[in-house]
Amino acid sequence: MLSVFALLFIIILIIVATTRYRLHPFLVLLLAGVLMGFISGLNAETIMSKLTEGFGNTLKSIGIVIACGTVIGAFLERSGGARTLAARVLRLVGERRSPLAMSITGFIVSIPVFCDSGFVILSALNKALSKKTGLSLAVLAVALATGLYTTHVFVPPTPGPLAAAATIGADIGLVILLGLLVSVPAAMVGLLWASSYCRRFKIIPSQAAPAVKAKTKEPGALSSFAPLIVPILLIALRSVADYPAAPFGEGTFKMVFDFIGHPVTALIIGVFLAFRLKERKSNTSYFDWVADGLAQAGVIILITGAGGAFGNVLRATGIGETMGQIMSHWQIGIFLPFIIAAVLKSAQGSSTVAIITTAALVSPLLEPMGLASPLAKALVVLAIGAGSMTVSHVNDSYFWVVAQFSDMDTATALRCHTIATLLQGVTGIIVVALLAWMLV
């Protein structure tokens, strides 16, 4: 239990240091990782190894994505393309329904695309809508983040639920159908929290320095949407190509889609599409605009990497697995995988790790728990998914992506994003339990 109390102490320390004493999250997260390691009995060499490994692995998967995403955002902002995007979206849905539009967008995008990549790609649109409508960026950010998060944990081919289905032996088709059913109320709860609570935090993005004269014509809708839509479509096609049914076969077509649909490749293509937004007669160069985006990306990348480093140290302490094994002996039916996944997620930060570890822990218990039927196994996967989103906080790199791309300080992000994920997870398990009661 020492590690549990130590984790609670460390989390409180992070919150106090970043909110009351205004210390930079990058330094606080690194120091928290070191302190947690020593308290848990890890030696100095292991702590530093896990810290740097976690930092590197996080940036390996998302560092270039963040950099390219902010460059695309800079081009959209400075060219006027972001205003074009906002005008078109508002023309379709109306100002009052812009949070709903972002929630639905996130819901759809995150089925084939990782939620952090989707948030990075769509953050420019979020900021444009906030400026256009005067609606707090916190509202739009949480609407988008919760929409993305929902299908990320419930609907294959996202790797987490796909791996859990394989481990437990659940039918993927059933998981997809029931996952979509469970995802709708979970996404609605996130949207309601964003619209009702998060509007009290007034965050309006600052206007970027204009690079062109006011009379310059803004880019067209097609040119403005292309840097966002094309990467999403390419990543989605890669997910389809990697589906077990192999719809594109195993040859050249699959290799092509695997390459161009990799998030890094897709975002680089998005950057070059964003180049078309800049007028050639402009008095600034492509270098200036790219540098502007990279300057914004630097801090975000470092904080996100530090969050990954902290989470990796927590995984090395074994706190999540220990608590999961203790709870695996509880006889509470469909709520058991939910609670184990929630503890693992809250303890070490990664939803995917929480899903995969929980699936391995509960797989041998399904027969004695009476959850061995095909329908029950699918519901167990979804119960694990609900737990894996409860809750996203300071040890989760997604938390820092949402916070930093939405101009939220740590306290605001905890109140808006973290509580939203708690409400979503609880809603998810309630729906899963009701389905189990009616169908199993």
Question: Which pTM does this prediction carry?
Answer: 0.71
* Predicted confidence (pLDDT) per residue in 175-226, tens digit: 888 998 999 999 999 999 999 999 999 998 865 544 444 445 678 888 888 8
Q: Determine the residue type at 67.
A: A
Phi, psi of 107 (to 5 degrees): -55, -45
Closest CA to 133 of 52, 74, 195: 195
How many residues would you count in the chain?
A: 440
The two structure tokens encoding residue 179 = 């996952």
How far is 264 from 365, CA to CA, in rounded Å? 39
Q: Is 205 helix (H, G, I), strand (E, B) or coil?
A: coil
Mean pLDDT of the region 286-302: 82
Number of H helices, E strands in the chain: 20, 0
**Burial class for 357, CB neighbours closer than 10 Å (0-12, 13-18, 19+):** buried
CA pseudo-torsion sign 238, 399, 122, 54? negative
Mean pLDDT of the region 401-418: 93
Closest CA to 426 of 207, 196, 229, 186: 186
pLDDT higher for 171 or 210? 171
Q: Cβ distance 208 to 78 under 8 Å?
A: yes
pLDDT at 43 over 70: yes
* Predicted confidence (pLDDT) per residue in 215-233, tens digit: 456 788 888 888 878 887 8
How far is 430 from 335, CA to CA, in rounded Å? 9
Lowest mean pLDDT among 31-35, 37-41, 287-291, 294-298: 294-298
